[in-house]
Amino acid sequence: MTDIVLESQSSSLYGMAPPISDEAMDAKRKALEILVAQPERDRPPVPNHLLNSKLFVKLKGNKLIEVTPHEIHFDGFELNQIHTREIHILNRSSEVLRIDIIPPQTSFFQIDYKKPQRLVTGFSIHVKIYFKPTQWQYYHDAIRIHTPERDHHLIVPIHAYPIILLDGILPNSYQFANTPIGQVATKTFSFQSGAPIEFQYRIEMLSQDPALTIEPVEGTIEKANVTNITVTYAPTAFCTSRLAVAIIVSQFHVQPFLCTFVGKCIPGLARDLAKKTLGMSGQFSTDNINLLTKKLPIATSSIPSTTKQKLTKQPMTESIMDKDIERDGLRIPKKIDSTWAVSKVLLQKK
């Protein structure tokens, strides 16, 4: 295209131009390529005078500027998706300031903001940070802020890393249904990594109870396989059992996940369960108690006759001996050897 323009200009000024040979055309094309900038691969970053001559080591803020939050974490991400965070740069001094914001140096992080000519006292600059990952790995960079305060320039670290979230899998508190003594209740929680990365975990006991157990206490959470953690409740007494654990996963900048398991065992659960199983309603009578426990009445044919007589005569004797004695208008039991007998006398009125 350039050759045509040159030829047209020369013809208009000096008349008909002489024919150009192939060697001359190649030389002209090479000269034009030297003048036109070609795209460079792996181009080094443009030198920045502030970045090369100043130290950016101050976190959170200085006497003039305050940054919130002081550190950015992209905890968990999806490949080739844009994730956004935001920071606020506040002028907390009594002066009007001019600051310079140096963006991240890697191509995975980009920033966007509207910078005023002067930052008035009490006003902020809102900086949006965009992150687009391409691989399952750890990314880090920083935003640097040049302020008028000498040798107290600010830096905002940026971290991005894959994690596994336990909030949607494990509850903060889980309570078993009321379980009778002698029975076992279990609850299984399943984990699976969303990234092709293995996460090691371990479980620390914060408070223990013999009726509650959790296993396994350590293992690996993988993408290909499902990891199960089982909690078992086997009560041995009428009480409330509690187990508090902390699940620690080997991932960056994540606090231990705290979880509490509660089990309750109260009297009458076995009876209620049996009533429900047999389809009974109301209170148990002496007749259906034997049916419930599946025990037959004691056979009296094998008992000696003398023993039979004692069994039949004993209630009559005991009823005669237990007859109350009346004295001064009070009914006094024959035996005052129990709290019930004493209370019976004291509660009477003359």
The answer to whether 227 and 247 are in contact (CB under 8 A) is no
* The pLDDT value given to residue 350: 54
Residue 77 CA to residue 281 CA, distance in Å, equals 57
* The pLDDT value given to residue 333: 78
* The pLDDT value given to residue 324: 73
Q: Which CATH superfamily is domain 173-264 in?
A: Immunoglobulins (2.60.40.10)
pLDDT in tens, the chain (350 residues): 444 444 444 444 444 455 667 777 777 666 545 434 444 445 566 666 666 667 788 888 888 999 999 999 998 888 999 999 999 999 998 889 888 899 999 999 999 999 888 889 889 999 999 999 998 889 999 999 988 887 788 999 999 988 887 777 788 999 999 998 888 999 999 888 878 888 889 999 999 899 999 999 999 888 778 889 999 999 988 999 999 999 998 888 878 899 999 999 988 877 777 777 666 545 444 445 445 444 434 444 444 555 445 445 444 444 444 567 777 777 777 777 777 777 777 777 65
| CATH 2.60.40.10 segments of the chain | 49-161, 173-264
Domain 49-161 is of which CATH architecture? Sandwich (2.60)
The answer to whether 161 and 75 are in contact (CB under 8 A) is yes
